Amino acid sequence: MRAELRFTLNGAAVEAFVQPQARLLDVLRDTLGATGTKEGCSEGECGACTVLIDGRAVASCLFPALEAEGKRVVTVEGLRQDNGDPSAVQRAFIDKGGVQCGFCTPGMVMATTALLAENPAPTDDEIRAGLVGNLCRCTGYVQIIDAVKQAAGELATKERS
């Protein structure tokens, strides 16, 4: 009744035995202990559970776990650099105050990471469009948008050098 599931989580091979209908979110949080990914609405509306699957931002509350078979899954725990420092996106959220209660933050950071991978120099409107699926009730988004711009700038500088 349980199926075997193997995928790469934050660069490491993992395996789990899961119910066929299991959501990726539950496998990450309950089975694998990766609780950085949050559940905010269970219906793909709030974006708190956003993870990257083969580089694409996905709402893990709607994603069947078994479909992650053989894929590369990255959660907020997997963003830090090899030396342990936060990623450019994480650093920018810290610097610009894009963090308040913090519950939307992991999803926001993941969505930003995917957005900048796809569009390294987004306009303000493109940033807003890219984050429209990530709800935040604390910040009014202003300092989050500032953070995305800082991260974009840093990544562009890194790219050039």
Partner 1 sequence: MSDYSFVGKERVRPDAGDKVAGRTPYIHDLVRPGMLHGKIKFSEHAHARIKHIDTSRAKRLPGVRAVITAYDTPEVRVGFLADNFALKRDKVRQFRDEVAAVAAIDPDIAREAVELIDVEYEPLPGVFSPHDALRPGAPLVHEVDARGRPRTSNLVDLKYGHHTGDLEAMKRASRHVVEGYYTTPRIQQSCMGTAGCIAEFDGHGNLTIYAKTQIPFLAQRDFTKALEAMGLEGCGARVVVPALGGGFGTGLDTHCYEHIAILLAHKTGLPVKILYDREEEFAYLSPRQSAETRVVQGCDANGLLTFRIVEVLQDNGAYTSWGATYPSVMMLPVTSLYRVPAVSFDAKIVYTNNTYCQAMRGYGNPEVTFPIESNLDELAREAGIDPLELRRKNANQPGDESPMKFRIATCGLDDCLKAVGQGLHWTEKQGQGRKDARGRALGVGVASLVHVGGSGRIYRSDGSGIAIRLDDFGHAHVAYGGVEMGQGLVSSLTVAVAESLGIMPEQVHLNQTDTAACPWDVGTHASRGAFMACNAAIRATKLLRDKLFALCPGVFEEIAGKASAKGKSKDEAAKIVGAPGKPEDYELKHALVTKRGLPDEAWAKVDLAKVLRAVHFRQAGTMLSAEYFYEPPSELPDWEKGIGNMSAAYTWGAQGVEVAVDEATGEVEVLRMINALDVGHVLSPQALKGQVYGGIAQGLGYALYEEIKSDQGRVLNAGFTDYKIPTASEMRFPIDLVFVETEDPNGPFGSKGVGEPGLVPTAPAIGNAIFDAVGVRLKELPMTPERVSVAIDAKGRIDR
The residues binding partner 1 (CB under 8 A) are: 29, 34-43, 45-46, 48, 75-77, 79-80, 86, 90, 93-97, 99-106, 109, 124-125, 127-129, 131-145
Residue closer to partner 1, measured from CB, 5 or 99: 99
Residue closer to partner 1, measured from CB, 67 or 124: 124
Give the nearest distance from C-beta 114 to partner 1 in angstroms. 15
How many whole angstroms separate alpha carbon 53 and alpha carbon 71? 7
Put residue 33 in one of left, alpha, beta given phi > 0 → left and psi -120 to 50 → alpha: left
Give the nearest distance from C-beta 59 to partner 1 in angstroms. 12
Residue found under tokens 């900048």: 116
Give the nearest distance from C-beta 149 to partner 1 in angstroms. 13
Strands (E), 23-121: 50-53, 56-59, 72-74
Residue closer to partner 1, measured from CB, 90 or 160: 90
E strand or H helix at 3: strand 3-9
Residue closer to partner 1, measured from CB, 70 or 80: 80
Residue closer to partner 1, measured from CB, 83 or 161: 83
Question: What is the DSSP code (8-state) at residue 68?
Answer: G
Give the nearest distance from C-beta 22 to partner 1 in angstroms. 11
How many whole angstroms separate alpha carbon 27 and alpha carbon 22? 7
The answer to whether the beta carbons of residues 78 and 11 sit under 8 Å apart is yes
Give the nearest distance from C-beta 57 to partner 1 in angstroms. 15
